[in-house]
Every structure is written in structure tokens, then in C-alpha cells.
Amino acid sequence: MKTKAGIWVDHRKATLVKLIWNTDSGSLEAKEVVVHISSDSESQSRRASDRTDGPYEPLNVQSDDTQQRKQTAELSQYYDRIIGHLGEADAIYVIGPGEAKKELHKRLTQTTSIVQIDTDTADKMTEKEIIAAVRKHFCK
């Protein structure tokens, strides 16, 4: 079997489309498997307490570097969950609107042995649009 995967990703959710060709039967049609993965990361951390009165209000807010380390750790776990769903993909196509696609690309090159990893910029897309983009990229 030959497997290629396309991922639309941002910091909140990812849509993974795997195209699986059965090379034993010689079929040119690919079977699609779609997986939705959501992130547990918050873009902005919240205060530990909603109380804003009193002399110790600054103690209720985490420092910026603590918030950043927490968000980075959550995103690393999110990217690892995405990579875990890839299985034995031969090639990967990563698309998305912002920095998440670059971060995932970097994580993929560090943790996997997949040689072909392509990226492209794309705004919000429906599931059908993502499937069509992945098919177009791999079925040239």
C-alpha cells in the first residue's frame, strides 16, 4: 500500500486527510481517511482568579515566560498527536493559514524520516476543499 497525507493545520485544530492506494490490486483510485484533531492549547492564558481587587492582584497572573512555556508544551503535544495519526505516510502536504504549518513542518523533519514534506499557505477551508487540495497536490 502507498499512503500520502495532507494536513490543514492551525493552532486550534487540524484536519488530516490520508490517501491510501492499494498497490497490490493496481487500482488508480485512492481511499480517503479523514481525521479531525483539536488542540488543547489556549491562544491567551487566563488569570488564575477573576478577582482584581486587593494589593496582591499581580500574583494572580502568570508571568509571560511561564505562559509561553506552557503554550509551547501544549502545542508540542498537539503536533505529536498529529504525527501519531500519520502512520506510514510516504509523503506529506502541510497547508494552513499561519505559523502552525511551519512549526509542524519543523517538528516533522526533527522526529520522522519522511523525505517529501511540502507546505503551502491556505486560509480557512472546508473538509471537502481540504480533500480536493490534497488530491490535486498528490494526483498531478
Q: What are phi and psi of 129, to 5 degrees?
A: -65, -40
CA separation for the pair 34, 36 (Å, rounded): 7
Cell numbers linked to 133: 487540495
pLDDT at position 103: 93
Rounded CA separation 43/103 (Å): 15
Res 105: pLDDT: 93
What does pLDDT average to over the chain? Answer: 84
Where are the chain's structural domains?
2-44+62-138
To the nearest whole percent, how much of the chain has pLDDT over 90?
Answer: 51
Q: Nearest Cα to 123, choosing from 98, 106, 92?
A: 98
pLDDT digits (tens, 9 = 90+) for 36-55: 999 877 655 555 555 555 56
Architecture of the 2-44+62-138 domain: 2-Layer Sandwich (3.30)
Instruction: Answer yes or no: are the C-beta atoms of 41 and 78 closer than 8 Å.
Output: yes
Q: How far is Cα 97 from Cα 101, in angstroms, rounded to an integer?
A: 8
Between 114 and 58, residue with greater pLDDT:
114
pLDDT in tens, 89-131: 999 999 999 899 999 999 999 988 888 999 999 999 999 999 9
Highest mean pLDDT among 17-26, 41-50, 62-71, 107-116: 107-116
